[in-house]
Structure 1
Amino acid sequence: MDRTVIAYVIYLVVSIGLTVWVARTLSRNGRVFLSDVLHGDEKLADAVNHLLVVGFYLVNFGFVALYLSDDDTVTDTRGVFEALSAKLGVVLLVLGVMHLANVYVLNRIRRRGMMQREQNPPVPPQGWTAPAVQA
């Protein structure tokens, strides 16, 4: 078997494994955060969580597939490690950037919800008083 094909197989196995592990970790631990962002609506939090995971898989698997091809042929074992380290490093960076982008957007939504909650008075108004007329 050609060393380039071996590098491709290892790259795919590791990249897919990393993507699945990160998605499951983010899904499991992000559910609590989403519940807070969505004011305790558990059904909506689960639905948004599932949609985020599906989008995460689509974007990352698409990137892994597009980044699979390489113009250089791998001729020795050192070349396999160099090709794998470059490709997996980029995949890890993309996974990290996507995670940070998700957290940033959700935190903005959460902060906006907290600001709206603070603007509502804790007790509804009891009545209305006309302003005093200055003489």
Structure 2
Amino acid sequence: MDLTVVAYVIYLLISVALTVWVARTLSSNGRIFLADVLKGDEKLAEAVNHLLVVGFYLVNLGFVTLYLKAADAVTNARGLFEALSVKLGVVLLVLGVMHLGNVYVLNKMRRRGLLERHQTPPVPPQAWTAPAAGL
């Protein structure tokens, strides 16, 4: 078998496995943030979490497949490792950026929800007082 094909197969296996692992990690830990942001609405948090995971898969797997083609043919074991290291390194960097982006967005959403909660009075107004005369 051609070493370029071997590089493609190894690249796809590792990249897809890494994408699945990161997506599962984001999904399980992001659910907590979403539930907090959505004021305890677990059903809505689960739905939004699922949509975010699907989007994450689409973007990352799309990138992995677009980045599959090697510029040069792999002719020896050294070339195989070099091609894999470059491709997997770029995939890891993209996954890391996507992960940090997701964490950033979830944190912004959570902070906004916390600020909104603190802006509402803890007790609704009990009565209305007319302004004093002469003011």
Q: Specify the alignment match of 1:20 in structure 2.
A: 20
Q: Specify the alignment match of 1:107 in structure 2.
A: 107
Secondary structure of 2:12's aligned partner: helix
Shift of residue 113, structure 1, vs aligned partner: 1.2
Q: Specify the alignment match of 2:37 in structure 1.
A: 37
| Equivalent-residue separation in structure 1 for 2:32 and 2:112 (angstroms) | 18
Q: Segments of 4+ in structure 1 off by > 6 A?
A: none
RMSD: 1.2
| Equivalent-residue separation in structure 2 for 1:90 and 1:44 (angstroms) | 34
| Equivalent-residue separation in structure 2 for 1:3 and 1:19 (angstroms) | 24
Query: Percent of counterpart pairs with the same letter?
Result: 76
Alignment of 1:61-76 (within 5 A): 61-76=61-76
Contact 2:4–2:73 at 8 Å: present in 1 too? Answer: yes
Paired residues, number: 135
String of CA shifts for 1:20-69, please: whole Å, max 9, x gaps. 11111211122112111111101001101110111011001100000001
Q: Specify the alignment match of 2:117 in structure 1.
A: 117
| Structure 1 unpaired stretches of 5+ | none
| Equivalent-residue separation in structure 1 for 2:38 and 2:64 (angstroms) | 32
Contact 2:30–2:106 at 8 Å: present in 1 too? Answer: no
Shift of residue 132, structure 1, vs aligned partner: 3.3
| Structure 2 unpaired stretches of 5+ | none
| Equivalent-residue separation in structure 2 for 1:18 and 1:45 (angstroms) | 24
TM-score (norm 2): 0.94
1:15 aligned partner, one-letter code:
S
Q: Specify the alignment match of 2:10 in structure 1.
A: 10
